[in-house]
Amino acid sequence: MAQEIERKFLVISDTWKNNVSRRIHYRQGYLCGNAHSSIRVRVSDDAAHLNIKSATPGVRREEFEYPVPLHEAQRMLSVLCEGPLIEKTRHFVEHRGHTWEVDVFEGQNQGLVVAEIELSRDDETFERPDWIGEEVSHDLRYYNTSLVRHPYTRW
Amino acid sequence: MAQEIERKFLVISDTWKNNVSRRIHYRQGYLCGNAHSSIRVRVSDDAAHLNIKSATPGVRREEFEYPVPLHEAQRMLSVLCEGPLIEKTRHFVEHRGHTWEVDVFEGQNQGLVVAEIELSRDDETFERPDWIGEEVSHDLRYYNTSLVRHPYTRW
């Protein structure tokens, strides 16, 4: 279990591409979500995880994560998950002592690029790179659970 | 992953109590459920599991189960699960080569006793003990997910 403090921003230019240290492709879906929690199945390049997150809106959420066998995750994605799957490539970008995660979406969410930073305290300060735009941490439309039901290309 | 073929019956007398080989107390809740699947957190006497089941009505369901740390399961039960928790004691009863699981419910489902048998094939034959009544495999009210929302004492 972990408490996750995450802030999410729109990305307004491509200059982050000069500082990518690592990238991972994700294919993920949601088993279901309600007012209390969301349950995600995520397959990355070589691993699969089940992730349970409390649905508290905002930046601070409770999170549980467990590794699962790849073939079981793929079965859950194809048989049990709602709607179209989320496909995106996560780029890790170092900036002044923090690691930003820039998610470039594909498929029905093509065109959407958001950047997240994980903090260890609510009041932790960090420097915003110049490719960062408006903060959308509290905007439900940008939740991955919402992007399944209302993908970006249909906004 | 496993395919589960389970049939569920009402229990019409107490004579099963003479043949109990083992019992386990369960405390369980549901992270959520929808048309596709249900996600259960279950704490038994000394272990905890996360269980994902397809929601196909009837006897054949797809199932995934993963052990989770006890303290994380307890946290999920208290913070993330919907409605009142299900509490029941499962009794294992041997009868003519099959093991029956007799669930005696407590709390808001007190008074409800159901017996389940797990089969390896749809057409597998088994002998019904004389304490078995009507089959309720297809009756949604007896699903544990339903018993959270509409507990037996309020039927």
Q: How far is CA A145 from CA A20, A40, A102, A140, B130, in A?
A: 26, 9, 18, 9, 49
- Choose from B31, B60, B68, B70 for mutation: most chain A CBs within 10 A: B31
**Active site members of A:** 30
Range A2-154: architecture per CATH: Beta Barrel (2.40)
Q: In this predicted model, what pLDDT tens digit does every residue of A88-145 receive, in sequence order? A: 999 999 999 999 999 999 999 999 999 999 998 888 899 999 999 999 998 989 988 8
B60: pLDDT strictly greater than 70: no
Report pLDDT digits (tens) over A37-75.
889 999 998 899 999 988 766 556 788 999 999 999 999
**For all residues of chain B together, what is the average pLDDT?**
90
Q: Indicate the domain borders of chain B.
A: 2-154
User: Quick one: closest CA in B to A74, which residue?
Assistant: B1
> Please, are residues A40 and A53 in contact by the beta-carbon 8 Å criterion?
yes
> Other CB atoms closer than 10 Å to residue A39's CB: what's the count?
26
Confidence at A3, pLDDT banded by 50, 70, 90:
low
Range in A10-14, B80-84, B116-120, B150-154 with the lowest mean pLDDT: B80-84
Using alpha carbons, select from A7, A25, A14, A30 the residue that is nearest to residue A127: A7
Query: Which residue has better confidence, B60 or B30?
Result: B30
Q: Predicted confidence band at B3 (pLDDT cuts at 50, 70, 90)? A: low
**How many Cα neighbours within 13 Å face the side chain of A145?**
19
Provide the H-helix boundaries in chain A: 70-79, 144-149
Q: Note whether A32 contacts B: Cβ–Cβ < 8 A.
A: yes
Stated pTM of the model: 0.81
Q: Is A62 on the interface with B (CB under 8 A)?
A: yes
Interchain proximity B79–A50, CB inside 8 Å: no
Q: CB distance B66–A62 less than 8 Å? A: no
What's the rounded mean pLDDT across residues B117-142? Answer: 92
Confidence of residue B122 (pLDDT cuts 50, 70, 90): confident
